[in-house]
Structure 1
Amino acid sequence: MTGVLPSPRVTIAALLLAAVGVATGCAEAGTGTPNTTPSSADESSAAPTSTAEPATPAARLAATLSDEDLVGQVLMPYAYGASATEVSTGSAAGNRKLAGVDTPAEMIERYRLGGLILVGFSADDPTGSNQPTTNVDDTAQVRQLTTGLQQAAGRLPAAALPDGGGELPLLIGTDQEFGIVTRITQGVTILPSAMAAGAAGRPELTEAAWRAAGTELAALGVNVDFAPVADVLGVDSTVIGSRSYSADPAVAAAQVGAAVRGLQAAGVAATLKHFPGHGHTAVDSHGDLPVLDQDRDALGAADLPPFVAGIDAGAGLVMSGHLDVTAVDPGVAATFSRKVLTDLLRGELGFDGVAVTDGMNMAPAQVLPPGEAAVAAINAGNDLILMPPNVSAAYDGLLAALRDGSLPRERLQQAVTRVLTLKQRLAGAAAPPMTVLGAAGHYAAARQLAAAAITQVRGSCSGVDGPVTVTASEGRDRTRALLVEALRAGGVEVVDRGGTVVHLVGYGDGTADLSAGAAVTVAMDTPYLLASSRSPSLLATYSSSPASMEALADVLRGAAPAPGRLPVPVEGLPATSCTG
């Protein structure tokens, strides 16, 4: 059984925001002086001894660490290669360019890393622009990789608490949101998207599904999930899409809290992102700095509730967004804003876990060189630097700033203490066996959530008459095959042409991908495209997962209801509608 993260320390009642102005008396974050002091990751300098005994084992360990170890613990880069110690020539070249080493294990040891993120992307992945490689091939490979990474980290001074307090794991994270951002796709239980869960509106099903998913991540050696997305989807936003649970802050808050509880009950730390909310923006932060232009009242009412709910549920991490939050600190990305991360996140919301940046290889974070950017992010209140574009430069910049005082030692030790505290919470439990991957009970949890999400937006609730032809927009052969298989398994005759036409549309599709002759159009991503469909029957699954296609087949053949409700408003369409 995996370890369970601690229960929450705050309550929603205490935190739901009376939208008041953020205190502005704190000093702005310094940028440090990167790359000015030559250093080697192999050097060692003793940290000064404090006259006061630190209060916790994590704080006591942080107080003993050298400058180099302190700096390394706040870095969580990616690496090239499917193995910790044996990589291809191309992967070795990538690691040398990124960090001056050949393998992921060497990167961990040289830079005393606090964590490492597993990366990868698919053709439909909107986050692909900052995923330069992949080290996720299959489940056996992932487990072997994470084992090798932990072995490398176990040789570091920061691997154990003082006084026999236990071995501390490397933080190994990935973006396993489900839906369009899913790094590990083969051999594991795939949940429906966040928006599907929002349509279902049953947090208990979300919690059960995410506990199943967390158990499988733990079996693979992943102890941090950069999920759930806590962004509330605005009417004009085209960025976050089905990664968001809902346009309703209360619905999103209930779902986010459930996902956090499920993941952390399985011993995997959850991450709320992208603070303080990416859902009301029209610009993708992978390419430019979005402006979040709500006033302070609107920010408190429309964006913050899911973060409050996730904090109340005990989320281990909050990810700062590359967002210009004009109501709090205009013109400054939240990544570099002390007003956002220290005054708002810490002071007002009471979060005391690990604040992690979004990928620092994204365009808005690269307005500063890697060393300066890392220092500015830590000074603002982040505790962990994710995906620096140059590990060596980030490390050297932090070390130089620590030694010249532009990065206060107290701030860095505070950050490291939070990182070590999270590691302590994740330590001690054996990983579940690989036999839990794709377990029947886990798939049942995903299937139940998918079934509760199916929404009949227009048309009859009595199913369709056979025979049925299933069509889909280009590139969706696999999803179409899943639905055909499920329909046939339920006794429906499926033909290549003729009969009742069921047409599938998904992520990235537009009006040109609609079928004029379809009796039924099904939206497998956001439901907005349904407003342009002339089909007499409209359904939404919000997801193309196997569980969602099986649930859709049951509805189409009249064997199950479509109980979901639209989690976002769609012009001209009701939240739910059945006429038969």
Structure 2
Amino acid sequence: MAGVLPSPRVTIAAFLLAVLGVTSGCAGAGSASPNTTPSSSSGPSTDPTATTGPATPAARLAATLSDEDLVGQVLMPYAYGGSATEVSAGSAAGNQQLAGVDSPAEMIERYRLGGLILVGFSADDPTGSNQPTTNVDDTAQVRALTTGLQQAASGLPAATLPAGAGDLPLLIGTDQEFGIVTRIDQGVTILPSAMAAGAAGRPDLTEAAWRAAGTELAALGVNVDFAPVADVLGVSSTVIGSRSYGADPALTAQQVGAAVRGLQGAGVAATVKHFPGHGHTAVDSHGDLPVLEQDRAALDTADLPPFAAGIDAGAGLVMSGHLDVTSVDPGVAATFSRKVLTDLLRGELGFEGVVVTDGMNMAPAQVMPPGAAAVAAVNAGNDLILMPPNVTATYDGLLGALRDGSLPRERLVQAVTRVLTLKQRLAGAATPPMSVLGAAGHYAAARELAAAAITQVRGACTVVGQPVTVTASAGRDRTRTLLIESLRAGGVEVVDRGGTTVHLVGYGDGASDLSAAAAVTVAMDTPYLLAQSRSPVLLATYSSSAASMSALADVLRGKTKAPGRLPVSVGDLPPTSCGQ
């Protein structure tokens, strides 16, 4: 394969077989690969438990790895292409620039990667600036891609990979938060946004919905979800916004814990983010370094509780934020702060899992070259480097620092031990069949959560008069159609003009997108814009999903009332006008 160096090691999967005594059913799986000449720098740590406690199988395995394998296991880049091995000329060019290889499979093999993130974005996605490609076309393609990625990581030819292999799986992650950050949005059950769940205030419904979503991610071969967002929304923010469960730390904590339990109950590792909290700043960390100016007491009471709840629920990962936390380590991004990640997250909150950086291709992480940034991040306490802007430079920087002692071997062994421990937790789980995608029971869970979220903050709880005319701000024709279809299915007469006007607004809309003629205005993202609407009836769904539009139709036609409560303050509007 073009650009791929020989791989002078026993594969990680083979090491696991030997060290953990796992049986894969594949003859010879524990034997060395054809290129087993050890690296000249592959000496093991003298004490694998020096920073990791008792000698667990993962710690013993980490202590045997070469420098090259240790470095590779803390990398989780993105790659261009919708297939592991067959990519377009443009994708190959992108991968060459990123990592000096043609395909995602070659990237895994060359750099002994610990994981890969699947990327892609939609028009309303505030994280789109650091998503330079897409790995997602449809569900069949995603499943084929993840299968190919695991085959590349196993070190076994595809034809000999047995069913149920993957004794130490590649970490394959994505940002499936739902709402405005949803990487896989076709052919799967779409949950309402985090803020919708916060408005519903039903952790039991949140857990059930996230278990359904986790089952579908597992069926697609995704074993890490970079969700849920644990940020408490203390200010109006376009980058966090409806990705947050709300402004109340205690209620947000309940929701975060429920989402973690649901995801991990389905065999997918959950990630609470962005530590120690991105919700009290409106600055977008994709472009600038936000400064968190609240004092330590405020940080403890207003930001940390949801992270503590996620940790208590067993979250496999915590994502560090590109945030200047002035009350802990002023002037230093949390990504590079030992005080934030080791002293606070590890020491005070007791987190023992994997700490993963936010995207290292974001502006606040690019204040130094990729290799130096990765070394600083690992030394601070990160265990996985996510989305480095250049894989080759990052790998070389880590390897050089390991060899010159500026990255202590014990710290890297500790990080890899945590990564391998997470992989061990994920190993051996049966992959659900593709038939679970969009299952009726999964949609029912999403629909129940969406229905519990609908909030009315102005107007009497009465049926909207018929006929109904549905209008929407620019670019929302698909959602408008979903609502019209749901209304008609419920027996409501919908006309193009002249009826009781229901107007939809969503992410990024402003006062100019409101309709002065609307009897009902519906906010499908954060509800702040409702404070500027003169409509006699104001509703919030916090989401434009099919489930949310179906639930909204039931409220509009009087089948149900709106049971939700505003999870954030919106001017002088009450949390609800229906007395729920």
TM-score (normalised: structure 2): 0.90
Aligned residue pairs total 532
Once the two structures are superposed, the pairs formed by residues 273-292 of structure 1 within 5 Å of their partners are: 273-292=273-292
The answer to whether the Cα contact below 8 Å between 1:460 and 1:579 also exists between their aligned partners in 2 is no
By how many angstroms is 1:561 displaced?
1.2
Pair 1:455–1:44, CA change in 2 (3 A) = farther
Structure-2 separation of matches of 1:460 and 1:487:
20
Structure-1 separation of matches of 2:225 and 2:493:
41
Q: Which residue of the partner structure matches residue 387 of structure 2?
A: 387
Q: Which residue of the partner structure matches residue 12 of structure 2?
A: none
Higher relative contact order, structure no. (Cα contacts within 8 Å, ≥ 6 residues apart): 1
Pair 1:236–1:477, CA change in 2 (3 A) = closer
Q: Which residue of the partner structure matches residue 537 of structure 2?
A: 537
RMSD: 1.5
The answer to whether the Cα contact below 8 Å between 2:44 and 2:65 also exists between their aligned partners in 1 is no
Structure-1 separation of matches of 2:481 and 2:203:
30
Structure-2 separation of matches of 1:47 and 1:473:
62
Q: Which runs of 5+ in 1 are unaligned?
A: 1-40, 157-164
Q: Which residue of the partner structure matches residue 557 of structure 1?
A: 557
By how many angstroms is 1:463 displaced?
1.7
Pair 1:166–1:284, CA change in 2 (3 A) = closer
Q: Which residue of the partner structure matches residue 105 of structure 2?
A: 105
- State the secondary structure of the residue aligned to 1:574: coil
Structure-2 separation of matches of 1:548 and 1:272:
25
By how many angstroms is 1:48 displaced?
2.7
- Asked whether 1:494 is paired with 2:494, we answer yes
Structure-2 separation of matches of 1:493 and 1:365:
54
Pair 1:197–1:84, CA change in 2 (3 A) = same
Q: Which residue of the partner structure matches residue 27 of structure 1?
A: none
Q: Which residue of the partner structure matches residue 354 of structure 2?
A: 354
Once the two structures are superposed, the pairs formed by residues 498-577 of structure 1 within 5 Å of their partners are: 498-577=498-577
The answer to whether the Cα contact below 8 Å between 1:44 and 1:68 also exists between their aligned partners in 2 is no
Structure-2 separation of matches of 1:166 and 1:352:
24
Structure-2 separation of matches of 1:86 and 1:344:
44
Q: Which residue of the partner structure matches residue 322 of structure 2?
A: 322
Q: 1:172-218 CA deviation, whole Å, 9 max, x = no partner?
A: 00000000000000000000000000000000000000000000000
- Asked whether 1:373 is paired with 2:369, we answer no
Identity %: 86
Task: Judge which range, 140-149 or 457-466, deviates more.
Answer: 457-466
Letter in 2 for 1:465: G
- Asked whether 1:297 is paired with 2:297, we answer yes
By how many angstroms is 1:236 displaced?
4.5
- State the secondary structure of the residue aligned to 1:367: coil
Pair 1:211–1:44, CA change in 2 (3 A) = farther
Letter in 2 for 1:486: S
Structure-2 separation of matches of 1:367 and 1:286:
13
Once the two structures are superposed, the pairs formed by residues 188-207 of structure 1 within 5 Å of their partners are: 188-207=188-207
- State the secondary structure of the residue aligned to 2:406: coil
Structure-1 separation of matches of 2:238 and 2:185:
25
By how many angstroms is 1:43 displaced?
5.5
Letter in 2 for 1:507: Y
Letter in 2 for 1:45: S
- State the secondary structure of the residue aligned to 1:379: helix
Pair 1:250–1:135, CA change in 2 (3 A) = same
The answer to whether the Cα contact below 8 Å between 2:235 and 2:281 also exists between their aligned partners in 1 is no
By how many angstroms is 1:146 displaced?
0.1
Q: Which runs of 5+ in 2 are unaligned?
A: 1-36, 157-164
Q: Which residue of the partner structure matches residue 484 of structure 1?
A: 484
Once the two structures are superposed, the pairs formed by residues 90-101 of structure 1 within 5 Å of their partners are: 90-101=90-101
TM-score (normalised: structure 1): 0.90
By how many angstroms is 1:578 displaced?
2.6
Q: Which residue of the partner structure matches residue 17 of structure 1?
A: none
The answer to whether the Cα contact below 8 Å between 2:45 and 2:409 also exists between their aligned partners in 1 is no
The answer to whether the Cα contact below 8 Å between 1:461 and 1:579 also exists between their aligned partners in 2 is no
Q: Which residue of the partner structure matches residue 414 of structure 1?
A: 414
Structure-2 separation of matches of 1:405 and 1:525:
49
Structure-2 separation of matches of 1:51 and 1:501:
71
Q: Which residue of the partner structure matches residue 155 of structure 1?
A: 155
Once the two structures are superposed, the pairs formed by residues 20-35 of structure 1 within 5 Å of their partners are: none
- Asked whether 1:50 is paired with 2:67, we answer no
The answer to whether the Cα contact below 8 Å between 1:189 and 1:437 also exists between their aligned partners in 2 is yes
Q: Which residue of the partner structure matches residue 425 of structure 1?
A: 425
The answer to whether the Cα contact below 8 Å between 2:201 and 2:251 also exists between their aligned partners in 1 is yes
